[in-house]
Amino acid sequence: MVSEPQREGGGGATGEEPSRVLVAGCGYVGTALGELLAGQGHEVWGLRRSRMEASPFIRSIEADLAVASSLESLPGNLDFVFYTAAAGGFEEGRYKSVYVDGLSNLLEALERGGHRPRRVFFTSSTSIYAQSDGGWVDEDSPTEPGAFSGRRMLEAERLLLAGPFPATAVRLAGIYGPHRRRLIDTVRSGRAVYRDDPPHYTNRIHRDDCAGVLHHLMGLPDPDPIVLAVDSEPASQRTVMEWLATALGAPAPRAAEATDDPPRRGGSNKRCSNARLLASGYALRYPTFRDGYTPLIQALT
Ligand SMILES: NC(=O)c1ccc[n+]([C@@H]2O[C@H](COP(=O)([O-])OP(=O)(O)OC[C@H]3O[C@@H](n4cnc5c(N)ncnc54)[C@H](OP(=O)(O)O)[C@@H]3O)[C@@H](O)[C@H]2O)c1
């Protein structure tokens, strides 16, 4: 079911050629992207199972990517497609359904519908890297995920890149931003625990840079098939938690002990490089966790 937005895309607000864009799985990142694109004059449809109430600028499509038959009436002549659906739970069945089956269904529906998108973007994850020595990884590093989450994501990337359309997999690190304050809340409550023997690196990207990167890549004539989208400062858990605790006036976080639960997602430990992204001309709005968390903390007071 497609519903109309309150405002039509005017076209060419920044001199860009207006495009017809589908955001499939239009949630936290997808909505930020859709609003950014609508603001630039593009015509944007946001697809998800529940009705989109949040944005007046994105046309809402209620459909289930996991059910092929619900993708039969996509808007015509799409220029760009962004696949930003998320599993919504840490279970293999959900990962397969959303990342593998859903993507496959959408690519088939686009082909069946005679679409010729200039590019399909898929938001992948840095979880496809299993490296655990704290070293640097980039787009050319081995991807040998041990956990089902990384394996299913990699399966989806391969499906995308072997598919019928020009495509780019954008490997996002941990997303934070407005209303995504889990780490802030944990530190503020005094429950923060870090692994530090050896230092455990974390990688992240602000929601607005997720949207910004996707918009930037859409404007490139021939973006790379794989792009890592992370900020410029992988930082140890301890560094981030201690900085947050100081900024929040919260109790100091503590080091993990043998009795603490092991990490749930396979325990990889790596520093993700954004050199390729920056070389492509993208300027991060929030280059470090300090830049991104400072306004979020200020908004708390
Ligand atoms: N969160 C992170 O830290 C992180 C890190 C790396 C990569 N990523 C990736 O980044 C992307 C964006 O993440 P996000 O945080 O924006 O996710 P999100 O807020 O959970 O949004 C995902 C959207 O997908 C929709 N969706 C889920 N299953 C669907 C289905 N079967 N059919 C149609 N729509 C469906 C959901 O809406 P309904 O439930 O209404 O359908 C929701 O609006 C995802 O691909 C995620 O895997 C996230």
Atom of ligand 1 nearest to the CA of 49: 41
Is the separation of the CB atoms in 250 and 188 below 8 Å? yes
Say how many Å lie between the CA of residue 101 and the centre of ligand 1. Answer: 14
Pairing of strands 174-176, 204-206: parallel
Name, in order, each residue with C-beta under 8 angstroms of 6's C-beta and a sequence gap of 6 or more: 56, 57
Q: What is the pLDDT of residue 6?
A: 38
* CA 122 – CA 145 distance, rounded (Å): 18
Atom of ligand 1 nearest to the CA of 176: 3
**Residues within 6 Å of ligand 1 by CB:** 25-30, 47-50, 64-66, 84-86, 88, 98, 102, 123, 125, 172, 174-175
Task: Specify the residue with its C-alpha closest to ligand 1, atom 18.
Answer: 27
Distances (CA, A) of 43 to 21, 95, 111, 195: 6, 29, 20, 45
Burial classification of residue 244, based on how many CB atoms lie within 10 Å of its CB (0-12 exposed, 13-18 middle, 19 or more buried) = buried
Say how many Å lie between the CA of residue 61 and the centre of ligand 1. Answer: 15
* CA 37 – CA 20 distance, rounded (Å): 10
The DSSP annotation for 150-174 comes to: HHHHHHHHHHHHTSSS-EEEEEE-E
Task: Specify the residue with its C-alpha closest to ligand 1, atom 7.
Answer: 125
Structure tokens at 109: 């529906």
**Which of 29, 53, 82, 176 to mutate for ligand 1's pocket (most ligand atoms within 8 Å of CB)?**
29
CATH among 3.30.479.30, 3.40.50.10440, 3.40.50.720, 1.10.1200.10 for 2-178+204-232+270-287:
3.40.50.720
Task: Specify the residue with its C-alpha closest to ligand 1, atom 37.
Answer: 48
Region class of 261: left (phi > 0), else alpha (psi between -120 and 50), else beta: beta
Atom of ligand 1 nearest to the CA of 175: 3
Cα 60 to the chain's mean position, in Å?
A: 20
Q: What is the pLDDT of residue 267?
A: 78
Q: Which amino acid is at 156?
A: A
Atom of ligand 1 nearest to the CA of 123: 45
Q: Which residues of the chain have pLDDT under 70?
A: 1-15, 54, 263-266
Residues in a beta bridge with 81? 22, 120
pLDDT digits (tens, 9 = 90+) for 54-104: 688 999 999 999 999 999 999 999 999 999 999 999 999 999 999 999 999
Is the separation of the CB atoms in 202 and 234 below 8 Å? yes
Which single residue is written with the structure tokens 């944007």? 44
Task: Specify the residue with its C-alpha closest to ligand 1, atom 25.
Answer: 25
Sheet with 119-125: list strands edge to edge. Answer: 2-3, 59-62, 43-48, 20-24, 80-83, 119-125, 167-172, 226-229
Say how many Å lie between the CA of residue 33 and the centre of ligand 1. Answer: 13
Write down the H helix ranges in 60-146.
Answer: 92-95, 102-112
Q: What is the pLDDT of residue 5?
A: 45
At residue 206, φ and ψ (nearest 5 deg) are: -75, 145
Say how many Å lie between the CA of residue 255 and the centre of ligand 1. Answer: 32
